[in-house]
Amino acid sequence: MRALTLVADRKLELAERPAPPPPGPGEAQVRIKAVALNHIDVWGWRGMAFAKRAYPLVVGAEAAGEIAATGPDVAGLQPGDPVVVYGALTCAECRACREGRDNLCENVKGVMGFHIDGFARELLNVPARLVIPVPAGVAMRHAACAPIAFSTVQHMLFDNAKLEPGESVLVHAGGSGIGTAAIQMAKAIGCTVITTVGDDAKADKARALGADHVINYKTERFEHVVRKLTKKRGVDVVFEHVGADTFNGSLLALKRGGRLVTCGSTSGPTVTINLMQLFQQQYRIIGSFGASMRNIRESLAKMAQGLVPVIDTEAPIAEFERGLQRLESRQVFGKIVVTF
């Protein structure tokens, strides 16, 4: 079978690998059809000094496919069923896992496609408990965006920031995969969405997606525009993932008692913040990483109801690296999906 492997920093190879053995007890074998790209793939491809891992590493952190076979004791999954798979090997036994907070697992064996072999291969065996059925009517290229992109946004906006209908939210990088999903999910419950983009073509697309106000962050200071748009009050929620370049501006764009939720630091991981501003303004700053199994089900349910991901590019698996370059250079509007 074919597998896309990282063999050195910034070097991918599409290689022939032996197919996995028939699935054992508690396992399902999944035939991967579509892999969606995320910034974690860019980090992994660049090489991460702090991530312990061995090359060659099969890349791909989120994907969709269909059941090829199941182990002898696995019920509820049939060959041909469309599925996605939770993207980290969690233990199922620790307190966090038992409470359904899978992304806080105390014994996680790693993020697939980053620390350990991922999804960019034709077949793989996974614990059946990590397999989530895809509802009827959801396309593979869309389902592939559920395990990380959509579920991360679901977790950030609703579990963590507790976004309510009618609130205002600032979504950074509205053209990114998670940015487009955040605009869609916030608009779907009737929020006012302000978003930032880096060029005018993306501004038009963000407006077409439903954003109420679009700020070109290269020509305007977004925090000033947000304060003007909200009559100096600030927004209820900021959806952060840009990091160093925007974090302090994001705090200035928040109302008193507002919530900032962040899942990324693409422009750099280190900032200095004013603690007096933090406590006087009573901000809540919430870190968010990954999602729960429930968030993936919720994301797929939203897709089945018509909230489908914005696809920037769909290409064959061999184009994975070009997709990473496109992500790195921030030329995207929506998700990049590669298919087998």
Per CB under 5 A, 124 contacts Zn ion: no
Per CB under 5 A, 91 contacts Zn ion: yes
Q: Work out the burial of residue 92: count CB atoms within 10 Å of its CB; fewer than 13 is exposed, 13-18 middle, 19 or more buried.
A: middle
* Residue in the structure block whose two tokens are 């605009």: 183
Determine the interface stretch with Zn ion among 36-44, 45-53, 88-96, 233-241 (rule: CB under 5 A).
Answer: 88-96
Structure tokens at 58: 């099969």
Alpha-carbon distance of 35 to 142, in angstroms, equals 10
- DSSP labels, 302-321: HHHTT-PPPEEEEEEGGGHH
Answer yes or no: are the C-beta atoms of 225 and 250 closer than 8 Å: no
The least distance separating Zn ion from the CB of residue 323, rounded to whole angstroms, comes to 31
Per CB under 5 A, 88 contacts Zn ion: no
Rg, Å, the chain Cα set:
20
Q: Work out the burial of residue 232: count CB atoms within 10 Å of its CB; fewer than 13 is exposed, 13-18 middle, 19 or more buried.
A: exposed
Q: Which is nearer to Zn ion, 48 or 91 (CB)?
A: 91
Determine the interface stretch with Zn ion among 24-32, 55-63, 94-102, 154-162 (rule: CB under 5 A).
Answer: 94-102
Alpha-carbon distance of 168 to 69, in angstroms, equals 46
| Strand residue runs (E) in 222-279 | 235-240, 254-262
Q: Which is nearer to Zn ion, 129 or 227 (CB)?
A: 129
Q: Looking only at residues 196 through 225 of this chain, which bind Zn ion when binding is defined by CB under 5 A? A: none
Answer yes or no: are the C-beta atoms of 242 and 261 closer than 8 Å: no
Determine the interface stretch with Zn ion among 20-28, 104-112, 221-229, 317-325 (rule: CB under 5 A).
Answer: 104-112
Per CB under 5 A, 14 contacts Zn ion: no
The least distance separating Zn ion from the CB of residue 62, rounded to whole angstroms, comes to 20
The least distance separating Zn ion from the CB of residue 123, rounded to whole angstroms, comes to 26
Q: Which is nearer to Zn ion, 74 or 293 (CB)?
A: 293
Per CB under 5 A, 97 contacts Zn ion: yes
| Position among 15, 19, 69, 94 found at the interface with Zn ion (CB under 5 A) | 94
Report DSSP state, residue 113.
T
Q: Which is nearer to Zn ion, 105 or 300 (CB)?
A: 105
Strand partners, 82: 66
Per CB under 5 A, 145 contacts Zn ion: no
Per CB under 5 A, 89 contacts Zn ion: no
Size of the chain in residues = 340
Determine the interface stretch with Zn ion among 87-95, 157-165, 166-174, 237-245 (rule: CB under 5 A).
Answer: 87-95
Residues that bind Zn ion (CB under 5 A): 90-91, 94, 97, 105
